[in-house]
Amino acid sequence: MGVLGDYKPVVAMLGLQFCYAGISLFTRGVLLQGMSPRVAVVYRLAIATFVIAPIAYFSRKKSSGCSSGLNLRSFSLIFLTAFIGVTANQNLFYEGLYLSSSTMGSAMGNLVPAITFVLAAIVGFEKINIGSLRSAAKISGTVVCVVGAICMALVKGSQLLNTEFFALQTKSIFGSGGDQTWLLGCLLLFGSSFCWSLWLVLQVPVSACYPDHLSLSAWIVFFATIQSATVAYLLEPTPESWILQTNLELIACLFSGIVSGGSFFLQTWCISRRGPLFSAMFSPLCTVITTILAALFLHEKIYTGSLIGAVGVIIGLYIVLWGKAGETLSIKEETNLKIQFDQIRIENILIDQSSEKTRSKTDLEEPLLSDHKSTDGSTVESNNYQS
């Protein structure tokens, strides 16, 4: 039973990567059939809100310790992070997914750790030591990720698959048109990864203002739903754009919304069992799964340049994670040493205090008048207590 329990986080993360790949494939399919990317984002976020909001409400109601509420500062930060990390991120991702491919959308997501490292270093959350091997690994891994992403966007090479499953319909606000569309889609996906990385950096001040993470996630998704609905209404004023035409569109919206709402709990559970790096190491697996399934079911075009670039991004990701893992281990070791030092210091203080108490007790128990016998056997009173 214990051995099976150790493999549960692995199975959970594998299943989650298949779910993420399924979202990319379903979304890509309905977008190619003609569904609006903005409307798809709204439905996904709305369903995710209905999934996570009741759980967050009842969890908050049961826990008496979490009583933090929204004030003006926390409301502003949450609203801003919702716009950057969800509304802008998802709309850019859906547009880029439509204009490029499922494989490209999944591969660009692997840039998030590298971009986050750069942003965190700029604002001072990450310390860079040029002489440290781990810092050099994070810097070089970031460079490899960026070069791989550029290779994916600009260097196509020979085409491995040349069949298409769906007929393209122009539903993107950017239109469609060959290589220019492909490059624009890559840029939009890069912008989506940038927004997600910025969202991760903003979690530091947001969590400080609103420490209830489950309730915070519900507020973020709720605000993002309202923001995305506003954007979609301005760009898609016709009612026909909001109607789900096929069962595939309904399944795609339900699946993506439920997975988006439920993945938070699964990710949190896995991180609590194995740590954040364990969760991040499974991200490239989603790219592999998406590439294989997209080639089988969507007959997407796969180019050698894009494939080499994706491999470069994955290699750079693991280099960054290796550097980060070493620094995390060093921080833990320093923390453990500090704790041990503090424990030893406290023990020494307690010993000193105990010795002081023992000496004080001895002094108090010693009588003020002590009788001493003289050499001739007579009793002599000390302390000169004589009249």
DSSP for 254-288, please give it: HHHHHHHHHHHHHHHHHHHHH-HHHHHTTHHHHHH
Which residue in the block uniquely carries the two structure tokens 């590439």? 291
Helices 89-99 and 37-62: crossing angle, nearest 10°?
140
What's the pLDDT score for residue 281? 75
Residue 22's pLDDT is what?
A: 92
pLDDT of residue 165: 44
**226 in any annotated domain:** yes
Q: Mention every residue, 6+ apart, whose C-beta is less than 8 A from residue 43.
A: 244, 253, 257
Structural domains in the chain (count): 1
Q: What does the alpha-carbon distance between residue 299 and residue 164 come to, in Å, rounded to a whole number?
A: 5
Confidence category of residue 125, pLDDT binned at 50, 70, 90: confident
Instruction: Judge whether residue 331 has pLDDT over 60.
Output: no
Q: Quick check: is 211 in a domain?
A: yes
Q: 119, 198 in Cβ contact below 8 A?
A: yes
Q: Where is average pLDDT lowest: 50-64, 101-115, 325-339?
A: 325-339
CA 63, CA 269: separation in Å to the nearest integer? Answer: 18
379 occurs within a structural domain? no
Question: Would residue 271 count as lying in a domain?
Answer: yes
- pTM for the full model? 0.75
* Res. 321: pLDDT tops 70: yes
Look at residue 52 and tell me if it is in a domain.
yes
What is the rounded average pLDDT of the residues 4-21?
82
Domain that holds residue 254: 2-63+70-339
Q: For the chain, what is the mean pLDDT?
A: 78
- Does 298 score more than 60 pLDDT? yes
Residue 235 lies in a domain: yes
C-alpha pair distances (Å), 86 with each of 197, 208, 227, 239: 11, 20, 9, 24
- Answer whether residue 387 is part of any domain: no
Q: Please report whether residue 364 resides in a domain.
A: no
Residue 303: phi, psi to the nearest 5? -110, 150
pLDDT of residue 367: 55
Strand segments (E) across the chain? 371-373, 379-381
